[in-house]
C-alpha cells in the first residue's frame, strides 16, 4: 500500500481537492500532516476545529489519524511502508520513471554565439536545458534536444573586416583568436566609424552567399564547434540536433510570404514588421537593407520544427533578457495558428554573474566557462588530496566533483532568480552542494563494499523502525513525485533541493544507526536501505547531469 496515495485519495474524496502532504519535523507528530489553515476559507471555521472534524471522519486502512491544534496528522505502519518503498526501488530498474508518454518535446537550449567564447553566462541555458532533457526522457517523452547556434548576424561582418585589417584566415585557430579580433574591431570602430558600414556590407555579402564571405564564415563555425564540443563533453551534454540560425535563412522568405498571405505584416520606417498588438513593439522581420533578424529567423525555425517533429511542446531555455523577443514572435505564431499558443513556451531564467563584476564580450571581459571548469577541478583536487590522500585516480574524481559542483551550483537555485557564483559555496563538501550529494553516494558505496554480500529484498522489514530509518524511507518514497514536479514547472531546482535533503537524511541515518552490526538480519535490512538510497541518489545526480563517483 502506498500510504501517501491513499491519504491523498481519502482527503480528496472528503474535501473535494488534492492537497500536498507535509513531513513533520518531529516524528511524534506523525509521518505525514496537512495544515488546516488552507481549508479555513472553504469551511469557514477555525483550523483547529477543521482538523478535529476531519480526524473523526476520515478512515484509512492501517493509518492512525489525529488532530494536534490546526494540524491533521497521519501515522502509518512502519513495516508496511518499508516493504512498499524498498521492494519497489529494488525491483524497478528505473524507480520513479513512471508510465511511458507519447508526447514529443523539443527543447532548445545552450545556443552559444559562434565565434565567441562559451562563457559562464552560457552555463545556465546549457545545464537547465540538459537537466530538463534528461528528466523528460526519463519519464518516457520523445525528446529532441536542439542546439540553436547563433551563427548569423552583423557581428560576422565585423569579424571579416577585422581579420582583413589585422590578421588572415589561416592564422585563425580557435575561438580565442576570433575573440581578439572582435574586441579589436570595437576599439577600431571608435576611431574609424566607417568600419561599421563595411561590416554591414560584408554581412550582406554573406546573406547573398558571396564565396569569399561564406569561406570566412565557415571557418568561424568550424573552429567554434571544435572548442564547444570539448566543453559539452566535460558537461556530459549531447543534442539530437545542432543547427545554426543560418540553416533557417533560406526558409525566412517562405515564412514571411505565409505571414503576408495572412495579412500579418506591414512596412514601418522602411522595415518589414509584424504587428503583435498594443502591449509591445512590433516584431521586426527584415531591416531596411533586406537582411533578416532574430525574429524572422526564429519564426522560420519554429515553423520548421512544427512541420518536422509535430511536437506537443517546444521549450526555449533562454535568459530573461530575451523575454520581449519571445513574447513578440510567439504572438506572431499564435496569430498564424491559435494552436501554437500552447506549443511554444519560454523557459525563463535569471542572470548569472561572478562576484568579480560584469561581463562584456565587446570589451573582452568574459568569464570563460572552460576556465571555470578547470579551476573547479583544480580546487577539488586540492580538497581531495587533503581529505583522502590515498584515493586512486584523484584527478578523474576531481574532474567529476569539480564539474558537478559547477553544474549543481546553478541548478540548485530556482531558475527565475539571478544568482552570483561563489567559489566557497560551490565546492563546500558540507553544504547544499553537488559534492555533498556525491559524498553521500560514495559513502553508500563504501558501506556496501564493506558489507560485501548480495543484496536482496527478502528481509525483516519490521526491523526498520527507528525514527532515522523511517525518515529516510519517506524521503525515498518522494522521489517519483519530485521527478514529476520537475517537468510540471520545468524547474530542475526541485530535484536538486530534494537530492540535498535525501543526502542529509541519509547522513542523519548513518550517524544514528550502525549498518553493519552483530545482528545479521538487521544488517541485511539496513544494507538494503543503503542500497536503495544509493540507487536514488545516483539517479537524481544523473538526471541533473552530474557524475556519481564511487569513491571520494
Is 88 domain-assigned? no
Are 418 and 510 members of one domain?
A: yes
Residues 105-159: pLDDT tens digits?
999 999 999 999 998 889 999 999 999 999 999 999 999 999 999 999 889 999 9
Is 9 domain-assigned? yes
Closest CA to 149 of 236, 212, 228: 228
Residue-level pLDDT at 358: 46
Do β-strands 271-274 and 283-286 pair in parallel, antiparallel, or remain unpaired?
antiparallel
Structural domain boundaries enclosing 44: 3-76
Are 385 and 440 members of one domain?
A: yes
Is 208 domain-assigned? yes
Are 52 and 178 members of one domain?
A: no
Are 342 and 374 members of one domain?
A: no
The strand pairing partners of 318, in sequence order, are 348
Is 529 domain-assigned? yes
Q: Which three cell numbers stand for residue 263?
A: 495579412
Residues 460-497: pLDDT tens digits?
999 999 999 999 999 999 999 999 999 999 999 999 99
Is 361 domain-assigned? no
Residue-level pLDDT at 267: 94
Residue 517: φ, ψ to 5°? -125, 180
Residue-level pLDDT at 356: 56
Are 40 and 152 members of one domain?
A: no
Residue 268: strand, helix, or coil: strand
Q: CATH code at 68?
A: 3.30.1360.70
Residues 507-537: pLDDT tens digits?
999 999 999 999 999 999 999 999 999 999 9
Confirm if 275 and 285 have CB atoms less than 8 A apart.
no
Is 500 domain-assigned? yes
Is 410 domain-assigned? yes
Give pLDDT < 50 ranges for the chain: 358-364
Q: Is the pTM for the entire model greater than 0.85?
A: yes
Q: CATH code at 475?
A: 1.10.730.10
The strand pairing partners of 274, in sequence order, are 265, 283
Are 195 and 326 members of one domain?
A: yes
Are 53 and 187 members of one domain?
A: no
Which of the listed residues 320, 354, 388 is the one where a domain comes to its end? 354
Residue-level pLDDT at 365: 57
Are 278 and 203 members of one domain?
A: yes
Are 145 and 42 members of one domain?
A: no
Contacts of 19 (CB under 8 A, 6+ apart): 8, 11, 12, 34, 38
Q: Which three cell numbers stand for residue 21?
A: 502532504
Q: How many domains does the chain have?
A: 3
Are 186 and 272 members of one domain?
A: yes
Rg, the chain, Cα only: 28
Are 526 and 424 members of one domain?
A: yes
Are 294 and 160 members of one domain?
A: yes
Is 409 domain-assigned? yes
Q: In whole angstroms, what separates CA 424 from the centre of its chain?
A: 22
Amino acid at each position: 500500500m502506498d500510504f501517501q496515495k491513499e491519504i491523498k485519495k481519502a482527503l480528496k474524496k472528503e474535501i473535494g481537492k488534492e492537497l500536498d502532504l507535509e513531513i513533520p519535523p518531529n516524528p511524534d507528530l506523525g509521518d505525514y500532516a496537512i495544515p488546516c489553515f488552507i481549508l479555513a476559507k472553504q469551511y469557514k471555521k477555525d483550523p483547529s476545529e477543521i482538523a478535529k472534524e476531519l480526524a473523526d471522519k476520515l478512515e484509512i486502512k492501517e493509518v492512525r489519524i489525529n488532530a494536534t491544534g490546526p494540524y491533521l496528522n497521519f501515522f502509518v505502519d512502519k513495516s508496511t511502508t518499508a516493504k512498499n518503498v524498498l521492494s519497489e526501488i529494488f525491483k524497478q530498474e528505473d524507480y520513479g520513471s513512471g508510465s511511458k508518454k507519447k508526447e514529443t518535446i523539443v527543447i532548445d537550449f545552450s545556443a552559444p554565439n559562434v565565434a565567441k567564447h562559451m562563457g559562464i553566462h552560457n552555463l545556465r541555458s546549457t545545464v537547465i536545458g540538459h537537466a530538463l532533457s534528461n528528466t523528460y526522457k526519463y519519464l518516457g517523452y520523445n525528446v529532441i534536444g536542439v542546439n540553436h547556434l547563433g551563427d548569423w548576424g552583423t557581428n560576422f561582418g565585423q569579424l571579416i573586416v577585422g581579420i582583413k585589417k589585422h590578421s588572415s584566415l589561416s592564422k585563425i585557430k580557435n575561438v580565442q583568436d576570433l575573440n581578439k579580433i572582435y574586441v579589436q574591431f570595437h576599439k577600431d570602430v571608435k576611431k574609424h566609424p566607417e568600419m561599421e558600414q563595411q561590416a554591414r556590407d560584408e554581412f550582406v555579402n554573406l546573406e547573398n552567399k558571396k564565396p569569399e564571405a561564406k569561406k570566412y564564415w565557415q571557418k568561424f563555425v568550424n573552429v567554434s564547434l571544435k572548442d564547444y564540443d570539448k566543453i559539452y563533453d566535460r558537461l556530459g551534454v549531447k543534442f539530437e540536433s545542432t543547427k545554426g540560425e543560418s540553416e533557417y535563412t533560406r526558409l525566412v522568405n517562405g515564412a514571411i510570404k505565409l505571414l503576408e498571405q495572412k495579412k500579418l505584416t506591414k512596412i514601418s520606417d522602411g522595415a518589414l514588421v509584424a504587428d503583435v498588438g498594443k502591449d509591445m513593439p512590433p516584431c521586426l522581420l527584415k531591416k531596411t537593407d533586406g537582411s533578416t533578424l532574430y525574429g524572422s529567423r526564429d519564426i522560420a525555425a519554429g515553423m520548421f520544427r512544427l512541420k518536422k517533429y509535430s511536437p506537443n511542446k517546444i521549450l526555449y531555455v533562454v535568459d530573461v533578457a530575451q523575454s520581449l523577443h519571445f513574447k513578440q514572435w510567439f504572438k506572431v505564431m499564435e496569430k498564424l495558428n491559435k494552436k501554437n499558443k500552447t506549443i511554444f513556451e519560454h523557459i525563463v531564467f535569471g542572470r548569472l554573474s561572478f562576484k568579480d563584476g560584469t561581463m562584456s564580450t565587446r570589451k573582452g571581459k568574459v568569464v570563460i566557462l572552460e576556465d571555470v571548469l578547470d579551476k573547479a577541478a583544480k580546487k577539488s583536487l586540492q580538497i581531495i588530496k587533503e581529505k583522502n590522500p590515498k584515493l586512486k585516480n584523484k584527478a578523474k574524481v576531481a574532474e567529476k566533483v569539480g564539474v558537478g559542483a559547477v553544474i549543481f551550483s546553478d541548478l540548485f537555485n530556482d531558475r527565475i532568480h539571478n544568482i552570483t557564483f561563489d567559489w566557497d559555496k560551490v565546492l563546500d563538501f558540507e553544504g547544499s552542494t553537488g559534492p555533498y550529494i556525491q559524498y553521500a553516494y560514495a559513502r553508500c558505496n563504501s558501506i556496501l563494499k564493506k558489507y560485501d554480500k548480495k543484496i536482496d529484498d527478502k528481509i525483516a522489514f519490521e526491523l526498520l523502525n527507528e525514527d532515522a530509518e523511517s525518515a529516510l524511507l519517506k524521503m525515498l518514497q518522494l522521489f517519483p513525485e519530485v521527478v514529476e514536479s520537475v517537468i510540471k514547472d520545468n524547474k530542475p531546482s526541485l530535484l536538486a533541493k530534494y537530492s540535498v535533503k535525501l543526502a542529509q537524511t541519509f547522513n542523519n541515518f548513518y550517524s544514528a544507526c550502525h549498518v553493519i552490526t552483530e545482528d545479521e538480519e538487521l544488517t541485511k535490512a539496513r544494507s538494503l536501505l543503503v542500497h536503495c538510497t544509493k540507487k536514488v541518489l545516483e539517479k537524481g545526480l544523473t538526471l541533473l547531469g552530474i557524475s556519481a563517483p564511487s569513491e571520494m
